[in-house]
């Protein structure tokens, strides 16, 4: 520490109006305090894994592999009250989480890339800041407000006027008929649609930053060779940004998988392994929020276990995203 | 024409695209790009428009300041008490949101700023700082509902009580990584000359950070913290299990259950009664005004900084 050499007691003259500069002890304490604050992150991350896993153990122990791979979530009893299937298999919920997130990505990724290109390549200078501001506002709309909007405004017209006719029209076609099956307003599709709106800002802001780092020499070279703007984008911007775009998509996927409140209100609540877009389903996050407060015993343990599964899946996806973006020079801005 | 095609800027398959084809494709791509921005304006405008239209007819001074919330949606939204017609209000939720979010900010911002200081001023490019940075980034991706479960298992199970404090801790954990990383970024913008000048004058590192570096980065740190607050104020999932529910205004986050605007929006939105849905719109409008106000202030601060720095 060079400072220690300089500030020997002899030249420790008052440097500021507030009096003597902080002493050596304070200097060390300050350093320790900042280190302790930075370590909180590790403590919390380890704490999440350990404590939730501990609470979830009864579920894993009682059900074994069926806890994760079992497809029946709601217990089934026959008329006599005998338990036919004890339920609490997370398979259908994991499927629902992946399916709604996939729908959201299919809808959100092209639009997000389009907006990012609009901001970086097409919009005139004066328009860029307002566009970014508008996307930021979208990011601030609380999840529950999207959920309320979906429930109060979207659900019934979507189910009656859009899903129903589409599903009827396509029913006879083999693959499409199965895909577009159902007519429930609260469905995988509705949840995926709203999730798409919710993850668009984060994917947009990351891809925008990556696109903006394309060296202008590359872009100008492409244009000078006679490329149109679109050819320049495909030839110069996209190859440069590939890692960052992959990372953006993975971070969007992680967000979509963990999103809870809007999905609780819009997905329907019936655990469902099907591919019918317009049928109601359930996701892990939604199942936790829906029934945690009324749960007891092994069911509570199972819901916490869903949290563990969700945490591990999103953690792996986020780690993958950092790895994918590792090549690009600029670090991803956290949480924006 | 053939020259540009050979440069493989256009990945043409089998045949050389004509000039008209290339220009057409460029035009279509431009339309798609501009279109994607317009597409995203639709949900934003629809959501804000509906919340304003539906909420404005519900929210008034009485809505914000009366309690208790009468969570019996089968009943009409007003009641006569001693000859006075009262509208049922959201005061417990308004106070709950302010108390819980405020306490979360008090917890998250100091820790987050200190963490950011460590990463930028002490850790630098070292291994430990790199690992911490990695996990801080990963922590931004932890689903909020998982954070709720974590706080439930660690705090609610141990204290056997649901309180505003538990909710504030959950929100603080969600805000923490955002504050750390935005602080670090703002500190990185402070020129090294200023640190060196301070050190050369004999100020120790801690003093340099407190008196020189932090003041220089303060507006940016405030702006980043405000964005985190805007997010936290709207969070519902982490609060559902840990703050409980109440129909009375509870100013004390350390004892007794509480409620927030976000939780009230959720619970009323899930009801089939129109009076409940009206209340949900009212709570949503109040919530969105709080969140947007924080965002707009943060944006103004950021723009100031950028203007001062000369772009």
Where residue B79 falls among pLDDT bands split at 50, 70, 90? low
Lowest mean pLDDT among A81-85, A171-175, A219-223, B244-248: A81-85
Contact B154 A227 (CB under 8 A): no
Residue B292 with chain A: CB contacts under 8 Å: 137, 140
- Residue B304: the pLDDT is 81
Q: Which residue of B has its CA nearest to A234?
A: B9
Q: Which pTM value belongs to this model?
A: 0.87
Is the distance from CB of B183 to CB of B109 less than 8 angstroms? Answer: no
Residue/partner pairs of A222-228 with CB below 8 Å, 24 or more apart:
A222/B9, A225/B4, A225/B7, A225/B9, A226/B3, A226/B4, A227/B4, A227/B7, A227/B9, A227/B10, A228/B22, A228/B23, A228/B25, A228/B26
Lowest mean pLDDT among A130-139, A226-235, A236-245, B302-311: B302-311
Mean pLDDT, chain A, rounded, equals 86
The full DSSP string for B222-253 is HHHHHHHHHHHHH--HHHHTTS---SS----T
pLDDT above 70: residue A226: yes
A8 contact B CB<8A? no
Q: Whole domain around residue B138: which residue ranges?
A: 91-308
Query: Is pLDDT larger for residue A67 or for residue B310?
Result: A67
Residue B286 with chain A: CB contacts under 8 Å: none
B192, exposed or middle or buried, with CB in 10 Å at 0-12, 13-18, 19+?
A: exposed
Give the pLDDT mean for A92-108.
96
d(CA B131, CA A313): 20
d(CA A32, CA A14): 25
Where residue B182 falls among pLDDT bands split at 50, 70, 90? very high
Number of domains in chain B: 1
d(CA B51, CA B261): 14
Within-domain flag for B257: yes
A37 CA to centre of own chain: 26
Residue A47 with chain B: CB contacts under 8 Å: 150, 154
Where residue A190 falls among pLDDT bands split at 50, 70, 90? very high
pLDDT digits (tens, 9 = 90+) for A291-311: 999 888 888 999 999 999 999
Phi, psi (5° rounding) for residue B285?
-65, -45
pLDDT above 60: residue B75: no
- Residue A250: the pLDDT is 95
Q: How far is CA B187 from CA A221, A305, B30, B136, B302, in A?
A: 36, 39, 38, 17, 14
Query: Is pLDDT larger for residue A274 or for residue B118?
Result: B118
ipTM for the predicted complex: 0.86
Within-domain flag for B81: no
A148 contact B CB<8A? yes
Q: What is the DSSP-derived secondary structure letter of residue A118?
A: I
Where residue B192 falls among pLDDT bands split at 50, 70, 90? very high
Q: How far is CA A46 from CA A311, B49, B139, B150, B167, in A?
A: 11, 42, 11, 11, 20
Nearest to A286 by CA among A100, A103, A154: A100
Give the pLDDT mean for A27-33.
92
- Residue B121: the pLDDT is 93
Give the pLDDT mean for B190-204.
91
Among A41, A258, A334, select the one facing B144 at the smallest CB separation: A258
- Residue B16: the pLDDT is 67
- Residue A3: the pLDDT is 44
- Residue A248: the pLDDT is 94
pLDDT above 50: residue B4: no
- Residue B175: the pLDDT is 95
- Residue A66: the pLDDT is 81
Give the pLDDT mean for B59-75.
66
Q: Which domains occur in chain A, in start order? A: 85-325 (1.10.3720.10)
pLDDT digits (tens, 9 = 90+) for A40-73: 999 999 999 999 999 999 998 888 888 888 888 8
Residues 70..89 of A with a Cβ closer than 8 Å to B: which?
none
Give the pLDDT mean for A78-104.
87
Contact A31 B206 (CB under 8 A): yes
CATH number at residue B242: 1.10.3720.10
Nearest to A118 by CA among B45, B31, B303: B31
Nearest to B169 by CA among B183, B159, B154, B184: B154
Where residue A103 falls among pLDDT bands split at 50, 70, 90? very high
Where residue A82 falls among pLDDT bands split at 50, 70, 90? confident
Three-class secondary structure assignment of B291-304: HHHHHHHHHHHHHH
Within-domain flag for B72: no
Closest Cα of chain B to A177: distance in Å? 27
pLDDT digits (tens, 9 = 90+) for A250-289: 999 999 999 999 999 999 888 888 898 999 999 999 999 9
Residues 91..130 of A with a Cβ closer than 8 Å to B: which?
110-115, 117-118, 121-122, 129
Within-domain flag for B247: yes
Contact A319 B203 (CB under 8 A): no
Burial A153-179 (b: 16+ CB within 10 A, else e): ebbeebbeeebbebbeebeeeeeeeeb
Within-domain flag for B37: no
Among B145, B150, B287, select the one facing A289 at the smallest CB separation: B145
Residue A145 with chain B: CB contacts under 8 Å: 47, 51, 234, 265, 284, 287-288
- Residue A147: the pLDDT is 95
Among A122, A144, A331, select the one facing B30 at the smallest CB separation: A122
Within-domain flag for B276: yes
Where residue B80 falls among pLDDT bands split at 50, 70, 90? low
**DSSP H or E segment with residue B275:** helix B274-308
- Residue B77: the pLDDT is 56
A265 contact B CB<8A? yes
- Residue A287: the pLDDT is 94
d(CA A318, CA A331): 14
- Residue A191: the pLDDT is 95
Is the distance from CB of B268 to CB of B280 less than 8 angstroms? Answer: yes
Mutate to test the interface with B, among A17, A41, A293 (most CBs of B within 10 A): A41
Contact B111 A40 (CB under 8 A): yes
Contact B202 A42 (CB under 8 A): no
Contact A142 B234 (CB under 8 A): yes
Within-domain flag for B19: no
Closest Cα of chain A to B94: distance in Å? 15
Mean pLDDT, chain B, rounded, equals 86
The full DSSP string for B155-222 is IIHHH----HHHHHHHHHHHHHHHHHHHHHHHHHTS-HHHHHHHHHTT--HHHHIIIIIHHHHHHHHH
β partners of residue A268: A281
> Which residues, including other chains, have CB under 8 Å from residue B188's CB and lie 6 or more apart?
B120
Closest Cα of chain A to B8: distance in Å? 8
d(CA B97, CA B78): 24
Is the distance from CB of A35 to CB of B122 less than 8 angstroms? Answer: yes
Within-domain flag for B52: no
């Amino acid at each position: 520490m060079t400072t220690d050499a300089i500030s020997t007691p002899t030249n420790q003259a008052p440097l500021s109006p507030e009096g003597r500069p902080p002493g050596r002890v304070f200097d060390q304490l300050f350093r320790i305090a900042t280190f302790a604050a930075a370590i909180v992150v590790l403590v919390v991350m380890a704490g999440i894994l350990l404590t939730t896993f501990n609470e979830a153990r009864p579920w894993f122990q009682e059900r074994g592999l069926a806890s994760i791979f079992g497809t029946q979530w709601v217990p089934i009893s026959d008329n006599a009250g005998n338990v036919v299937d004890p339920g609490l298999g997370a398979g259908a919920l994991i499927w629902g989480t992946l399916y709604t997130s996939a729908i959201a990505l299919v809808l959100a990724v092209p639009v997000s890339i389009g907006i990012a290109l609009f901001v970086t390549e097409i919009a005139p200078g004066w328009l860029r800041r307002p566009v970014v501001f508008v996307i930021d506002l979208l990011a601030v709309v609380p999840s529950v407000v999207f959920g309320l909007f979906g429930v109060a405004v979207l659900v019934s017209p979507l189910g009656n006027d859009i899903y129903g006719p589409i599903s009827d029209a396509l029913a006879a076609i083999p693959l499409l008929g199965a895909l577009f099956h159902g007519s429930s307003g609260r469905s995988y599709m509705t949840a995926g649609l709203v999730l798409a709106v919710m993850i668009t800002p984060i994917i947009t802001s990351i891809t925008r930053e990556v696109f903006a780092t394309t060296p202008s020499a590359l872009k100008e070279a492409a244009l000078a060779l006679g490329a149109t703007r679109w050819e320049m984008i495909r030839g110069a911007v996209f190859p440069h940004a590939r890692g960052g775009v992959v990372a953006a998509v993975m971070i969007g996927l992680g967000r979509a998988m963990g999103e809870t409140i809007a999905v609780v209100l819009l997905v329907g609540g019936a655990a469902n392994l099907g591919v019918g877009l317009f049928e109601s389903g359930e996701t892990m996050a939604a199942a936790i929020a829906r029934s945690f407060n009324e749960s007891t015993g092994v069911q509570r343990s199972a819901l916490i276990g869903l949290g563990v599964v969700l945490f591990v899946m999103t953690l792996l996806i986020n780690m993958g995203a950092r790895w994918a973006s590792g090549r690009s020079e600029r670090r991803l801005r956290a949480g924006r | 024409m053939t020259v540009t095609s050979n440069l493989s800027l256009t990945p043409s398959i089998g045949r050389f695209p004509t000039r008209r084809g290339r220009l057409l494709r460029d035009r279509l791509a431009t339309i798609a790009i501009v279109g994607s921005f317009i597409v995203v304006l639709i949900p934003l405008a629809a959501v804000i428009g509906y919340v304003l239209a539906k909420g404005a007819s519900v929210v008034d001074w009485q809505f914000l300041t009366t309690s208790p919330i009468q969570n019996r949606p089968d009943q009409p939204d007003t009641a006569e008490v001693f000859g006075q017609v009262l509208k049922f209000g959201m005061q417990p939720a308004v106070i709950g949101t302010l108390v819980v979010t405020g306490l979360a900010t008090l917890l998250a911002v100091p820790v987050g700023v200190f963490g950011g200081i460590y990463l930028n001023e002490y850790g630098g490019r070292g291994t430990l700082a790199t690992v911490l940075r990695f996990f801080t980034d990963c922590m931004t991706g932890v689903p909020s509902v998982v954070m709720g479960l974590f706080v439930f298992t660690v705090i609610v199970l141990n204290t056997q009580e649901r309180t505003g404090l538990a909710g504030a801790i959950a929100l603080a954990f969600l805000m923490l990584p955002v504050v750390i990383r935005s602080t670090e970024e703002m500190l990185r913008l402070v020129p090294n000359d200023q640190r060196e000048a301070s050190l050369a004058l004999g100020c120790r590192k801690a003093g340099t950070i407190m008196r020189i570096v932090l003041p220089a980065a303060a507006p940016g740190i405030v702006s980043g913290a405000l964005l985190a607050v805007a997010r936290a104020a709207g969070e519902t999932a982490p609060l559902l299990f840990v703050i409980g529910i109440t129909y009375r205004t509870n100013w004390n986050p350390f004892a007794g259950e509480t409620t927030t605007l976000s939780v009230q929006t959720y619970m009323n939105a899930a009801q089939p009664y129109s009076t409940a849905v009206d209340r949900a719109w009212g709570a949503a409008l109040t919530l969105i005004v709080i969140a947007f106000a924080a965002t707009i202030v943060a944006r103004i601060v950021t723009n100031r900084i950028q203007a001062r720095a000369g772009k």
